[in-house]
Chain A
Amino acid sequence: MSARDDILGGIRRGLRRGKLPEEAAAGLAERVAAHRRNLIPARAAALDPAGRIGLFVRMAEEVQTTVARVASDEAVPAEVARYLAAENLPAELVLAPDPALDAIPWDVRPLIAIRRGRAEPGDAVSLTACLAGVAETGTLMLVSGADTPTTLNFLPDTHIVVLRAGQVVASYEDGWDLVRARAQGAPGNSPLGWPRTINLITGPSRTGDIEQRIQLGAHGPRRLHVVLIDEPGSSANAAPRG
């Protein structure tokens, strides 16, 4: 008997039944396919879009994410230049090769040196877009892909994320629906359309492992900076509903 058979057999013995009958299995498959939501806290779900954005910013700042609000893509390079200077960081960025960042006119700040690709050791600052911002806990949702390498989220010391107001959703469950929609849009509806990684990021890296004292920048980025573009619905990534 294979280990697999032994283990499944052991489970069924414990449950005092054999393999599930077809009908019961179909019922469970339906439950999974329907993926019904359980209770969603009212904290974010009861808010209107402006309220959600306000909550997102408050919750993010609580965990030492810094948030800068700008009016449009055109204003992003100036904000990034300001931020890098204020934090005494080199004017060098590695950017995700993500079409969602294409509208940003980096040539208005030609002194910022930009490379597009994955992160390499020695990269100080990365800049990425994201799939959504979850207002409930000030959490960013990023998915991996050919245009969105995950090393950008973890290797550099500083991670800058461009978030559009229309991308702010209430709950993680709203985020899952966005990932599903994106995966279904993938060629051939292959399971490979599902991203290798979904990162839910809530603040910079931290540890409390020594004497319970919180220290930022354990292994991941020390700084997480969100540039929030106050243009709802301006991006293809905007949330389909509230």
Chain B
Amino acid sequence: MEPTSHSFPANARAGLADPVLQRALGLARTGFPLRRQQAIERLPEFEELREAGRAIKDHTLAHLDFYLELYERNVIAAGGQVHWARNAAEARDAVLNVCRSVGAKIVTKGKSMVAEEIALNDHLERNGITPVETDLGEYIIQLRHEPPSHIIAPAIHLMKEQVADAFRAAHTGLDPDRPLDEVRTLCEEARTILRPQFLAADVGITGANFLVAETGSSIIVTNEGNGDLTQTLPRVHIVVASLEKIVPTLEDTATLLRLLARSATGQEFSSYTTISTGPRRPGDIDGPEQYHVVLLDNGRTDLIGGEFHDMLRCLRCAACLNHCPVYVAVGGHAYGWVYPGPMGAVLAPALVGLGEAGHLPNASTFCGRCESVCPVKIPLPRMMRHWREREFAQRRSPSAYRSGLRLWAWLAQRPALYHAFAEIAGRILGWIGRERGRFRFLPLASGWTAVRDMPAPEGRSFHSLWAERQRGGAKR
């Protein structure tokens, strides 16, 4: 998809003004954090597991080349094939070539953010292959021709009436007067419509939550069973996954799995966690005949060893999204690309450039909730600040903003001057605002006063009051 992150301010305003979106976000706003909290309270070892998970990911990244080579050897030993892709174009072509080699017409897909990142569906369609999203949320947004708005709940921005409209428009073979006002009937209809597609597919494409170096396995963590039908029924299974999904051993994977479902949906464990290794074995009576893995770089290696290295620990659980006051106010589409919320604010500028995605790391108050709920302790606010620093250094921020920051920096490096200025300003504003105690309008502060009153200062600065107290002077 073409990013629209450069329009974040306008996108956000549109999101805030959209009553249906606001109702939908309201459901998510309380639900996810509450369920996560309940799950964590049932697992006393959760904090220790966070630390263990962080350590596993850090160890893996420090030896990523070793583990990737080991992983590749084991995939091949199990009868699978590995395709290395430096960028989105190489990944798309690898997938297309495999599909063409078996004359694929219909391809079912499990949910994959990497597949969104490389814009795989459009590429397949342009080449005469029909991709069918099978995850319910992905299926709904495919019908509506829109991108996902959340990395694990793609249709979180919709209410059931919108889903019903999409189904009525698309499922033209069914009785147009059938009732579709219940979630249950909508899910039943999706199940009925998609079952023949699962059975007709020539190729099934999934992502991977983890890739296990020890065994050459790919792992999908789902609740619907669509990923399993996608990867079991067709003749060919293709996994598209980015490099940093590698985990050394099954034991390491179990630790990360204990963190993942609890952080993502508040479940103890997802309904289906499937570890897949190669194609069907001699004697198997079901399963794909071919198993391919497309390993995608697309900017990950550029992050290794740099300021954003820690971002590669991300498990794609979406806890940061669910707890971000900005995300739950404006929704995922405002961020304009595949990865929204705090993790998107760090990852998008790395993958599509600061020029396109520079607004995203600025759409944060640094409240820090994201970092506090991240199962692998990624310092998201710190990395957003790194992006802001780069923006400043590259002169991308608006000039008034840069001048203001420069002035503040000049003052802040001269503490005596800073204190004098603050004392004078405090006294003047305190005197002007002494009657009301607040300002409804203040020059240079309209970003604040446009939507809320600015409290008037008391009149004296803490430093001057403290100095007076130290000298034994009277209290104000």
Contacts and interface: CB of A to CB of B under 8 A. Distances in A.
A200 B224 contact: no
Nearest to B304: A14
A201 B228 CA distance: 11
Contact of B45 (A16, A36, A42): A42
A21 B186 CA distance: 57
A212 B232 contact: no
A38 B252 contact: yes
A212 B28 contact: yes
A129 to B, nearest CB: 16
Contact of A20 (B63, B269, B302): B63
Nearest to A18: B65
Interface stretch (B7-15, B243-251, B371-379, B413-421): B243-251
A173 B258 CA distance: 12
B301 A14 contact: yes
B285 A199 contact: no
Interface string A176-202: 100000000000000110111111111
Interface string B26-37: 011001000000
Interface in B275-314: 275-287, 295, 297, 301-306, 309
B78 to A, nearest CB: 5
Interface stretch (B66-74, B95-103, B119-127, B362-370): B66-74
Size category, B interface: 35 or more
Nearest to A215: B187
Contacts of B49: 39, 41
Interface in B224-275: 224-226, 228-229, 232-233, 243, 248-252, 254-255, 257-258, 265, 267-275
Given A28-B63, A145-B281, A219-B224, A7 B86 contact: yes
Contacts of B31: 212
A192 B276 contact: no
Contact of A15 (B52, B70, B304): B304
A16 B295 CA distance: 22
Contacts of B206: none
B31 to A, nearest CB: 5
A196 B280 contact: yes
Contacts of A63: 267-268, 271
Contacts of A11: 64-65, 68, 243, 301, 304
Contacts of A192: 78-79, 278, 281-282
A12 interface: yes
A78 to B, nearest CB: 29
Interface string B172-209: 00000000000110111011001100110000000000
Contact of A219 (B44, B70, B191, B277): B191
B268 A218 contact: no
A190 to B, nearest CB: 9
Contacts of B24: 211
A118 interface: yes
Given A32-B248, A197-B232, A219-B198, A209 B284 contact: no
A169 interface: no
A32 B213 contact: yes
Contacts of A151: 232-233, 286
Nearest to B196: A121
Given A19-B65, A211-B160, A217-B187, A10 B297 contact: yes
B251 A173 contact: yes
Interface residues of A, number: 79
Given A10-B302, A32-B70, A211-B27, A219 B251 contact: no
B225 A219 contact: yes
Contacts of A208: 153, 223, 265
B213 to A, nearest CB: 7
Given A41-B43, A151-B233, A7 B297 contact: yes
B63 A197 contact: no
B136 A8 contact: no
B191 A218 contact: yes
B391 interface: no
Contacts of B160: 210-211
Interface in A42-79: 42-43, 59, 62-63
A205 interface: yes
Given A194-B215, A207-B223, A211-B27, A176 B254 contact: yes
Interface in B31-86: 31, 43-45, 48-49, 52, 56, 62-70, 74, 77-79, 84-86
B154 interface: yes
Nearest to A5: B84
17 contacts: A7-B295, A35-B250, A39-B49, A118-B286, A119-B286, A144-B284, A192-B281, A197-B274, A200-B273, A200-B274, A202-B272, A204-B271, A207-B136, A207-B137, A208-B265, A210-B187, A218-B136
Given A6-B86, A38-B252, 11 more contacts: A4-B84, A146-B285, A154-B225, A154-B229, A172-B257, A173-B250, A196-B279, A197-B287, A207-B136, A209-B153, A219-B195
